[in-house]
Structures are given as C-alpha cells and as structure tokens.
Structure 1
Amino acid sequence: MCGITGVFDTRAKRTIDRAVLHRMNESQHHRGPDEGSLHLEPGLGLGHRRLSIIDLSTGQQPLFNGDGSIAIVFNGEIYNYQALMAELIALGYTFRTKSDTEVIVHAWEAWGEDCVKRLRGMFAFAISDRNRETLFLARDRLAVKPMHYALLDDGMLLFGSELKSLLAHGGMRRDLDLLAVEEYFALGYVAEPRSIFAQARKLAPGHTLTIRRGRPVPAPQPYWDVRFTLDNPIGEDDACAELVERLRESVRLRMISEVPLGAFLSGGVDSSAVVAMMAGVSTDPVNTCSIAFDDPAYDEAAFAKMVADRYRTHHSVETVRSDDYDLIDTLARAYDEPYADSSAIPTYRVCQLARKHVTVALSGDGGDESFGGYRRYRMHLMEERMRSALPEGLRRPLFGTLGRLYPKADWAPRVFRAKTTFEGMARSAVEGYFHSVSILRGPQRAALFSARMKGELGGYNAQDVFSRHAANAGTDDPLALIQYLDLKTYLVGDINTKVDRASMQHSLEVREPLMDHELVEWLATLPSSLKLRGGTGKFLLKKALEPQLPHDVLYRPKMGFAVPLTRWFRGPLKQRVRDAVLGERLADTGWFERRVLQRLVDEHQSGVREHSAPLWTLLMFEAFLRNVIDGGVASTGAVATEAMVA
C-alpha cells in the first residue's frame, strides 16, 4: 500500500521541477512512511511513498524493466502475482525482485494494455514507456485504490493517489465543478469520474487511460464490468459449499504478507465471515480489532466478542466516546473533497486502533452490495411490486399528487411516514432508487440552492449518474439492477473512499476479500432468490456460514457503523452547527438560500423535524471549504462541461 504521484508532459519533453515533484510526493507521506523516491527524466516525473508489505528488501519504487525504458509507480496488491511471475518467467522474462510490482512491469511488456485483465487484486498504477512515449494509468475493477488526474492548460498531466498531491503541484486551478456539488448534496460524495475540482478527474473503476505524447488526451477506456446473468443453475446446497470455498480462497490470497496482519471485527456478518475464513486457513491465532461505543444503541462489541471467543483470536477492543466529534476538520483535510458519510468517524478510529497491532487488516467491505444485504433493497423490491401492479400512466400522476400533498412527518411513527413512499411510487425503478438513497432529495436540493446556483447547474440533476450506469447494467431484474448501481456508485464513491482515506491516514493497508472480482462475477450469476429471500438479506452467505458462526451474529438486525448525529446537533455541537451552516463561508459562495439554511437549523434544534443528515452534509461542505479551498487561491464559480466527464 503506497502513495503514487507524477507529472507527464503530453506535448514535448520539458524539464519537470524536482522541488515541485518532491512537494507532490511528500503531501502523501502518510500513505507510505517507510520510504520515498523520485524519478525524473525529460518530460516525466514519478513519485512514490512506500508502505512496505511484500519484498521488504528489494521492492522499492519507481521500479524499472531491464533496460530502464519502462518505469512504474504502483499502489495496491496483486494477489495472483506468484502465478503470473511463473508464467512470465516461462515467457523469458527475468526478475530481479520478488515483488508484485515487477510482475506488472513485465506484464506490460508481454501483454500491453491488456495486462490489467490478468491482474487479480486492488491496484492503481502508472507505467511510463519511454520508447512508446506513453503514460498508462490503470485502476482496479471495483476502485478499491484511488487514482486522480488533471490535464493542465500547459499540457502537463498530473496524477496521484489523492487530490492533495495534484493541488500540491500549484498549477491546477481550484475552480469547483458545480455539477459535482450537486452530486455531493444528493449522494454525500462526488461520484466517479468527477472530482470536486473542475480540472481534475478520478479514473473510473475498471478503466485505463493511455496518453501518448504529441496526441490529444483520449477518454478513459473500460476493461471490465460485472454482468448479472442470474442464470447459474446451481442448487442451494452446492451454492453454499462453493461459496465457502471461494471465500476461503479469496481470504487465503489476501493473507500473503511479510508484516503483521489481522482483521477488523465489527460483529456483523461480513467481517465475522472473513475472520472465520482466516481462522480456517491460519496456523496461528488471528489478530482482530473492534471498537466499542459507550452508547449501547450503537455498540456491537458483544457480538464481535462472540466471534473472537469462538475462534480464539488475539482480540483488541477500544471504546469510542459517543461524543467523538473532534475529527470534523481532520476528515475534511483527509478526504480533499466534501464527504458526508458520518461513519468515517468510527472507521477512522478502528483504523487507528488496528495500526497499533498490525500493518495489514482484512475487512468485510463489499458484502452488502454483492450478497444483497442492505435494508433498502427489501424496501425497493416492495415498491417495485407495487409499481408493477399499476400502469405507469395511472401510477405517476396518482402517486405524484399524493407525494406532493402528503405532509412530511419525520416525527410520526414509521407507518405514517408515507410521503417518501408516495414520491417513490411515482417514479421509475432507477428514479425511485436514486430518490431513496439521496441525502437531500430533488425538491430539497431545489429549495436549498439559490437561483444563481440553479442557473449555473443548467438543469443538471445528480440522478443522471444513476441513469448513465443503469443504461449499462444489462439486467432488468429489480434486485440485480440496484446491486449493479451500488457497485458503480455507493461502493466506489462512499465505502472504498472512506476506508482508503481513513486507513491511509494511519499507514494501514486494508484488504477486501469480499470484493475479489472473481467472487463478484460468480455471485452475479446466481439468481436473486439466493441473495434476498423472505425478507432475509444475504440469504446465501448466512446459510453457508451457519456451521461456522453463532446464530445471533448471522440473524440479528443489522446495525451499521453509525454515530448519534441527532443528539450531537441538539446538544454538544449545537452552536458549531449553527455557526457553520449560517456562517459567512457558506454564504460567500452564493449557492444557498439563507432562509432554508435557517429553517433546517431551527427545526432540527427545536425538535420539530429531523434534519441531521442534511445538516451533517452542510457541516462537512463548510469544513471542506475552510480546510481545503481556503488553503490557496480558489475560484468557486466554474462549472465543468459534460464533455470533460466522457
């Protein structure tokens, strides 16, 4: 696990300033505190910060081929590198190291751009091929590892693991992309391939970008996608048996390490499954880490202990205060762009705890998306059954009217909160799902944004993100469609972003056995009835693990990694929220209606309405403006065009 950065001259071979490259590289020191290296040649600068995991003695980067014409900087792990190394040796390639990094270099020599199709792992890397005058950027299939890039006005192309390395260059404009702001207030994150900055982009999951000097920079190209065929005829018992074998293999591959290794253990199904598999393939007790909360409503420590006791792990637990809100500015600086998932706080803390004991930790992230675990999936399927019972011509006007007329009743028992359901019923499946996951829904954003902001947006709606992906989903199965949407949006923009930044702040490598692409592909062939059955999410996973995990762990209600925002904003953070949301920094943008901001704060703090999610989203946006934008010259009036996203 590392931090990579670099500069490539797309026009000529101008000199790259070593001091600038050093500044870019050191901005990511936290990602790789063990070593830092630079390489410069005409028209190229590569920087690398190393967190040593495999081949501790000879795995330094940038790493070169035999004649020095090909160089790589790489962040991640290639889990099948030993098999690929044997294959490449058979083809005549000579290895000077035992590292997975050198495998990628020779894979590029052997297979060119198709090399990524042979890699099994999490990765983001840049290859410079001097003879071809080419820079090749690649990102793994599910975007576990980040890759940002920006084409400057002078033809220099910057890239880096984090946006802060691009900003450290000094030549990238800080104009904000207002379409990204719209996405943020809808989703709580900026969806790939946008970044919050108009001149920067994120390389999308499963994509590569090949830049040839002297030619225009092309659009990134996809090399992988998941297809929900749902056509696997396997029976339930055989599917359970095969799933356990696939899980065991995925975990075993991710336990290759020359440094201390362990796992997060929340007490939920996914992390417990990973620990059970680790215990089954390890001769030594597994190191596990959990955090407990001093508020019982958020504490899962007892369930984590059940699993730890069962497998006799070396278990570490620390209690997090329920008023652990001092990380707001720390998180804003870590994420480089606005990010509104409040579970970033406990994620930051569990990474902090894990790093005291291990350098590598396995996680259970990705299980909800592939196994069908989110509660919202069940609600969506209920709505889909209702939608299909009425013709669209009747359903849209009927429920649209009911949704507009029915009062919002956050204070009432759930059975009386019908406004959201009515609004959802008036929409298509994709529109309804986007509506259900939005932090601020369409009418709320329309009320929040000023006339100037709406004019700058030019009619753009963040729902376009979902519509674009839905067009490529290749399935109309109700569950498979929204699983695909989550794999392309929420998993990438929220979950993987959260874990990468939180772990790297503590120089901790996190590995993701439930996001193994071969496992994801196999699960996509299974019928949806093996994922969600009779109101039970993750049906197949739970059934397969019944012999290995306690019933209370498998079948208890899902809790999630939450923090008590409602109480914070009416108690210890009351004044901070008021100051941030109603303060000068947000007002100076000219993007928000003051009266709506005032109403959100007053209604929440008086207890009339529940607005904790929109308020947290505004609080983190204000923190981003103060901590990131105000650190340099910024222009906040630019809107990126659709062409820049292609």
Structure 2
Amino acid sequence: MGAIAGIFHAATPKPVDPARVIRMIEAQAHRGPDGEGVWTAPGIGLGHRRLATVDLAGSPQPMRDGGLTVTFDGAIHNLGELRAELRNKGVRFHTRGDTELLLHGWRAWGAAMLDRLHGNFVFALHDAGAGTLFLARDRLGAKPLHYAELSDGALAFSSELKGLLAHPQLRRAPDLTAVEYYLAYGYVPDDSCIVAGSRKLPAGHCLLVERGRPVPAPRRWWDVDFSARAAGSADALAEQLIERMRAGVRRCMIANVPVGALLSGDVDAAAVVALMAEASPRAVATCAIGADAPTPARSIAARFATAHAERVADPDELSGVDSLVRHLDEPFADPSALTSLPLCALARERVTVALAGDGADEVMAGARRYKAHLAGERLRRLLSPDVCARLFGPLGAGWPEAAWAPPAFRLRSTFQALGTSGAEAYAHAVCVTPSALRTALFSPEARRALGGYRPEDRYVVAMTHAPARDPLDAAQYADLKIRLSGDILARADRIGMAVGLEIREPLLDHELVAFAATLPTAMRRRRGEGKWLMRRGLERHLPRDMLTSTPVVGESPVDAWFRAPLAGQGAALARSGLLVESGWFDLPRLARLAEDHRAGRADHGRTLWQLLMLEKSLARLFG
C-alpha cells in the first residue's frame, strides 16, 4: 500500500532528475509512513511511499528484477494462489509480498496478468528491454492514478493530484468542464481532472506507453456485465450471494497488521462485521462516530462482541472543512466526508487496515433513487414513451417551480422526468444542482466556453450502451462505472490514506459484483425494497431489526448550515475574489441564490455547499 509516482520520457530517453520524483513522492508522504524509495534510469524515474500491510520487513519499492521495475499501491488478495502457480513454473521468490508477484507475473503473462489479479491496485511497470511503461488500475477504481503530459514531452503520473502538482512543469489552470461536472454531480469524475491537461486513469483500464510513440488512449481491460441472468431458487441464489460476500470479507482480512472495521450502523456494515466475526478467532476491532444516545453501530458491536471504540460527533464539525479540502485535492461536495475524517483517525489509532460496507447500494440495488427510476420506466412502458413525452413534456415546461410548497406539490421535476427518456431522467435525478440552475449561475462567457457541454451525457451514454437487460441494470451499471469510482471510492481512499489507514471494501469484491449483476431484477428489488436477496441471505446472521431498518432521511444538514453558521459565507460567495476573477459566474444571481436560501424562500443549501467547497479547492490548487 502507499503512493506511487513517476516520470517517463516516451520520445527520447532524457535524464530524469531524482529530486523531481522525490518531491512528487514526498507530497504524498501521508499515504506511506513506513518507507520511501526512488529509482531512475535514462528516460524513466519511479518513486514509492510505503504503508506496510504484508511482508513488513521486506518488499522495498521500486522493485527490480532484470530489466523490469515496478512501483505498486494496493493489495493482491489472491497472492498465495498466484505465487504457487508461478512457483510451479519454476519462479523463485525472494520476498513474501505482492510487489514481486507483479514482476514475475508480467514476465509470465504480460498484460493478461491483470485478469488473474484479485484485489485493489494501481501500478507502473517499466520494461527496459521493450522500452515501455505500463500503467494499470483495478477493476472498480479503489486505488487512484493521475497522469499528465508535460511541456518537455514527459509523461508524469502520481497516486494523488498532489504528486503531479509537485512537478514544476505541470501547468496549473482550472478546467471549466470539470467545474461544470462537479456542480452537476458533486465530484470530478474519472478520466477528468480539475487541473486542465491532467487526467485520471479510469477504473478497469490500463495504459501502455511505448518509447518513440505518442501516448495512446487508455484501454479498458474489465467491465461488469448485466446482460446474463443466474438461474435458481431465491434460497439457492441467496446462499451463493452470502458465500461470495464471505469470500470477499476473508480476502480483505489478509494482512500482517491489525485489521478492523468501520461501523456506520447500516445493514451493509453489519453484514461485514458479522462475517468478520465468523472468520476471526479474536474480537473484531470496530470504530464508529457516535452520540450520547444509543446508536445502531453500538447495537451491532454488542451483538458481535466486538472491541468497539466510539468518538462522539464533534458539535462543531464544520471546523474540519479546510482539512477536508486539503486531503481531497479536487472539489468534493458530499458533507458526510466531514465525519469520515475523524472516524478514520480513530480507527488508525487501533488498526492499519479497516473494512467498510461501501458500495452495496450500487451493487445490490439498495439506493432509494432506483425506486423512482423504476416507477417512471413502468409508466413509460404503460403509456409508451411518445405519449409520455407529449403529455408530460409540456407540463414539465409550464409547471411553476413552487419551491415554497410542500413536497407533494413540487411536481415540475417529476413531469420533466416523465417527459423524457429513462436514461435522460436518471441522469438528471442524480444531479446535485439541476441543469437549469447551473445554466442560470454561469456567466454568458462561461456558457459560451462550455459550448453546450452536458455532464448528463456521461450518464445517458453509459446507460444507453450498458450491457444490460432492463432499466435497473442500466442505472446500476452507470452508477458502478461513474459514481462508484468518482465519489464513493475516491472519498474512502483519500480520507483513509490521509491518516495512513487502508480502507478495504469487501462488498465490492469483483466476483461478488459480477454475480450480483446476474441476479434477476425481482431479487435485487422487491415491493420497493432494495437489497432484497442480500437481506434474505443474511437472516441467519443478523437480527430482524437490523435487516429491516432503513436510514432516516431528513433535512440535509447543509440547508441548516447556510441559514445559520454558514449564512455569512454563503452571502460572501458572490464577492469571492477567486470566483469573481474566474469570470465563470453570474454574481448577482449567485447573491440572490444565497439570500433566497437564507430567507427560507428556497432550499439551495447543497448548491451553496458545492460553491463553497469549489472556492476553497480553487484557492488551494491555484492560489
């Protein structure tokens, strides 16, 4: 585990200054407190910061074997199986870690090695004989990788954006299309970056750079397929599902350091702890952010007799905003990240690796947004899409906003959704700030510069071309390909590694994800209930109240924040030097947005939070 960075001259093997690689690595020192290494040769420089979780005394990086050199961040969960397979081919290992496995695996299988790797990883492998650099990222994007082509022709890469920014030749300028995407969805997606000219290697992709040739586009090496259907009774499929969950948990528990779990109090975290307790001879170490009153996390801890620790939520949680911006680099608008940071800090006091239950809503169709999506698709099928467009399109265009009215009377967005395709409606439904409001907030100059760019198209294209049978398949596919890596896993990685904690996601084991994608729709969602088969399979592991509990959805905390503690900062956004200087925004419109929210005439808290986090990120990145 840790951080990687490097510089590769593809056109000609120019010397690489080791000091530059060192700066890139030291900018990510928080990711690897247990060691540092840098290696350079003509045309190439690789660096590494280490968070030791296996082979604690060995496996220094970058690691070399003949003409191959690799720098690696991650964990290969089927390490033992692959080492045994390579030993049978005559390979002799000199370490007990997974880094050496990549060197011998590349020599044996080349890029096809990726299909054999089970775990979360990014790595950069230099082959001196072939004059190539190979970059690869795990299937679902648990580990990050940024890269950019520099003015001197070099390709620079780094786990976090911080590492790229440490290179003096990286030009710092914001990318307006990334800002538009961020305002739409609350995060900057894979393959895009807030710094113009920089990119992220998408999840499940690899990149082979050959000396003397231009840097090509990344190649997808893995995808999830929703087009097949598993056969069997509900009980048989539930048993298979739980067995795959059990395998995912056990793989994630493999480490030579203390392993624990992050408890959020929901059924996903409870399932992870239940299966960890089943596999562990000792009490599982669990951590949660709690309250003075009893919490669901406390109930789970008591049920499984875990070694539990809680830290009471900080009543002044907004004090962590600047620290959050520093750790996340790019703007990120999920306010729950504020509690993730103290939770990870608490966990790091006790363990080095923590398992979490992230991603189950997307994999098992538990998210509430799927219910509305399926209801809309049923109506489209009943009336036909053309009839829906003719009937509801005009209603959506003419219905008043009525932000002051009770939710039952705010029908404009519902009519607009029914008046368009299911993919288009879902793309708008997952937006934080709607398209019309984004357009109103941007200045005429920014709208011209965007040239009609629509973040919604990313979702529409993913759903339209998804390997899927029905609308639920398509929505889940798009979420797994877009939201999972750009939002959920990015947050877990950056915040965990900010304190030197490796977060592993057993419910995102790729074999489990692939199996869940084949489940009949009625076994993923039934009678409006998500994760139906998962809950059924967990009946022998969890009490009924844990299986049937649903999160309480109340007022977004940011709505309250911008009417009280952050009201002044909301009003000041229209006077922000950075936002004024950017020329991107209609400042009088932005001022009215803040005032309407403060006065209770509308609920714009989430958009104001996005703008505040954007301002703070821009200040940190661009000064």
Paired AA for residue 316 in structure 2: D
Gaps of 5+ in 2: none
Query: Which amino acid is 1:199 matched to?
Result: G
Give the structure 2 partner of residue 126 of structure 1.
124
Q: Distance in 1 between matches of 2:417 and 2:291?
A: 35
Match for residue 614 of structure 1?
607
Alignment correspondent of 2:12 = 12
The match for 2:278 among 280, 284, 287 is 280
Deviates more, 1:610-619 or 1:190-199: 190-199
Cross-structure match for 2:351: 358
Give 1:477's match in structure 2, choosing from 470, 482, 488.
Answer: 470
Asked if the contact 1:250/1:516 (under 8 Å) is kept, the reply is yes
| Secondary structure in structure 1 of the residue aligned to 2:166 | helix
Match of 1:577 among 570, 583, 596: 570
Q: Which residue of 2 aligns with 1:36?
A: 36
Is 1:558 equivalent to 2:551 in the alignment? yes
**Alpha-carbon contact 1:346-1:561 (below 8 Å) kept:** no
Deviation at 1:528, TM superposition (A): 1.0
Name the structure 2 match of 1:314. 307
CA distance in 1 between counterparts of 2:563 and 2:483 reads 29
Aligned to 1:391: 384
Structure 1 residues without counterparts, runs of 5 or longer: 631-646
Counterpart of 1:185 in structure 2 is 183
1:77 partner letter: A
| Aligned residues of 2:253 and 2:259 also touching (Cα < 8 A) | yes
Which residue in 2 is equivalent to 1:87?
A: 85
Aligned residue in 2 for 1:325: 318
Q: Is the 8 A contact 1:343 1:561 kept in 2?
A: no
Q: Check whether the contact 1:581–1:619 (CA below 8 A) recurs between aligned residues.
A: no
Please state if 1:241 is matched with 2:234.
no
AA partner of residue 542 (structure 1): R
CA–CA distance in structure 2, aligned partners of residues 588 and 427 of structure 1: 37
Contact 2:262 2:356 in 1 (8 A): yes
> 1: CA distance between counterparts of 2:288 and 2:2?
24
Per-residue deviation, 1:445: 1.2
In the alignment, structure 1 residue 543 sits paired with structure 2 residue 536: yes
Question: How far has the Cα of 1:177 moved from its partner?
Answer: 1.9
2:454 counterpart letter in structure 1 = N
Cα contact 1:328–1:623 (8 A) shared by 2: no
Show CA shifts across 1:490-528 (max 9, x none).
111110111111001100000110111011111111111
| Structure 1 stretches of 4+ moved >6 Å | 560-563
1:392 deviates by 3.0
Kindly tell me: are residues 101 and 274 of structure 1, through their superposed partners in 2, closer, same or farther at Cα, counting changes over 3 Å? same
How far off is 1:220 after superposition?
0.6
- After TM superposition, give the deviation of residue 398 of structure 1 in Å: 2.8
Residue 36 of structure 1 aligns with an amino acid whose one-letter code is E
Deviates more, 1:572-581 or 1:162-171: 572-581
* Alpha-carbon contact 1:7-1:158 (below 8 Å) kept: yes
Q: Report Cα offsets for 1:349-376 as digits up to 9, x if no partner.
A: 2111111111100010110011011011
Say which of 221, 224, 233 aligns to 2:222: 224
- What is the distance in 2 between the residues matched to 1:492 and 1:584? 32
Give the superposition deviation at 1:163. Answer: 0.7
In structure 2, what is the Cα distance between the partners aligned to 1:405 and 1:561? 29
Q: Deviation at 1:339?
A: 1.2
The partner residue of 2:258 within 257, 260, 264 is 260
Aligned to 1:639: none
What is the CA-CA distance between 1:558 and the residue it aligns to?
A: 2.0
In 1, Cα distance between equivalents of 2:469 and 2:591: 42
User: Which 10-residue stretch deviates more, 555-564 or 174-183?
Assistant: 555-564
Q: How does 1:430-445 map to 2 (within 5 A)?
A: 430-445=423-438
Cα distance, 1:121 vs structure 2: 0.4
The CA distance in 2 between the partners of 1:159 and 1:123, in whole Å, is: 15
- Asked whether the equivalents of residues 227 and 469 of structure 2 are also in contact (C-alpha less than 8 Å), the reply is no
- Output aligned runs, 1:128-527, within 5 Å: 128-293=126-291, 302-527=295-520
Q: Identity over aligned residues, as a percent?
A: 44
Distance verdict in 2 for CA 1:562–1:35, change over 3 Å: farther
Secondary structure, counterpart of 1:169 in structure 2: coil
Secondary structure of the equivalent of 2:542?
coil
Distance in 1 (alpha carbons) for counterparts of 2:116 and 2:557: 44
Task: Give how far 1:408 is off.
Answer: 2.2
| The 10-residue stretch of structure 1 (463-472 or 603-612) with the greater mean CA deviation from structure 2 | 463-472
- What CA distance in whole angstroms lies between the structure 2 residues aligned with 1:183 and 1:328? 21
Question: Which residue identity does 1:51 align to in structure 2?
Answer: L
- Going from structure 1 to structure 2, the CA distance change for 1:561 and 1:127 (only over 3 Å counts) comes to farther
- Alignment-derived partner of residue 3 in structure 1: 3
Mean Cα deviation higher: 481-490 or 390-399: 390-399
8 Å contact from structure 2 (residues 574, 588) kept in 1? no
Q: Which amino acid in the other structure matches residue 160 of structure 2?
A: E
Residue aligning to 2:112: 114
Question: Partners in 1 of 2:260 and 2:472 — Cα distance?
Answer: 33
Corresponding residue for 2:22? 22
Say if 2:25 and 2:47, in contact at 8 Å, map to a contact too: yes
Alpha-carbon distance in 1 for matches of 2:590, 2:497: 34
Q: Secondary structure at the residue paired with 1:124?
A: strand
Q: How far apart are the structure 2 equivalents of 1:559 and 1:118?
A: 41
CA-to-aligned-CA distance 1:111-149 (integer Å, 9 cap, x gap):
111111110000011001111111000000000000111
CA gap 1:305/1:577 in 2 versus in 1, 3 angstroms? same
Letter of the structure 2 residue corresponding to residue 291 of structure 1: I
Deviates more, 1:169-178 or 1:478-487: 169-178
Separation (CA, whole Å) in 1 of partners of 2:448 and 2:177: 11
Q: CA deviation at 1:390?
A: 2.4
TM (norm. structure 2) is 0.98
Query: What is the CA-CA distance between 1:223 and the residue it aligns to?
Result: 0.7
Q: Provide the C-alpha distance between the structure 2 equivalents of 1:107 and 1:508, rounded to a whole number of angstroms.
A: 27
Structure 2 partner of 1:642: none
| Secondary structure, aligned partner of 2:319 | coil
TM-score normalised by L of structure 1: 0.94
Q: Does 1:57 align with 2:50?
A: no
- Give the aligned length: 623
Do the aligned residues in 1 keep the contact of 2:204 with 2:223 (CA within 8 Å)?
yes
Amino acid at match of 2:210: R
Aligned partners of 1:329 and 1:627 also within 8 Å: no
CA shift digits 1:141-197 (9 cap, x unpaired): 000000111011221000010011011001111122221111111111111111112
Q: Residues 514-567 of structure 1, C-alpha deviation per residue, up to 9 Å, x if partnerless?
A: 111011111111111111000111101111111211222211122479972122
Specify whether residues 76 and 559 from structure 1 end up closer, same or farther in structure 2 by C-alpha distance, changes over 3 A only. farther
CA RMSD of aligned residues (A): 1.5
> Which one-letter code corresponds to 1:57 in the other structure?
A
Tell me how far apart the structure 2 counterparts of residues 274 and 488 of structure 1 sit (CA, whole Å): 23
Q: 1:600 to 1:429 in 2, by over 3 A?
A: same
Q: Which amino acid in the other structure matches residue 63 of structure 2? A: L
For 1:180, the aligned partner's letter is: A
Structure-2 residue corresponding to 1:633:
none
Distance 1:592 1:522, change over 3 A: same
- Which whole-Å deviations, capped at 9, do the CAs of 1:442-495 have from their partners, x for residues lacking one? 111111111101111111111121123224312241111100010011111110
Paired with 1:410 and 1:76, the residues of 2 have a C-alpha distance of 47
- The one-letter amino acid paired with 1:227 is D
**8 Å Cα contact 2:34/2:52 also seen in 1:** yes
How many Å separate the matches in 1 of 2:589 and 2:149? 37
CA contact (8 A) 2:137 2:204 kept: yes
* Corresponding position of 1:604: 597
Distance apart, 1:414 and its partner CA: 2.4
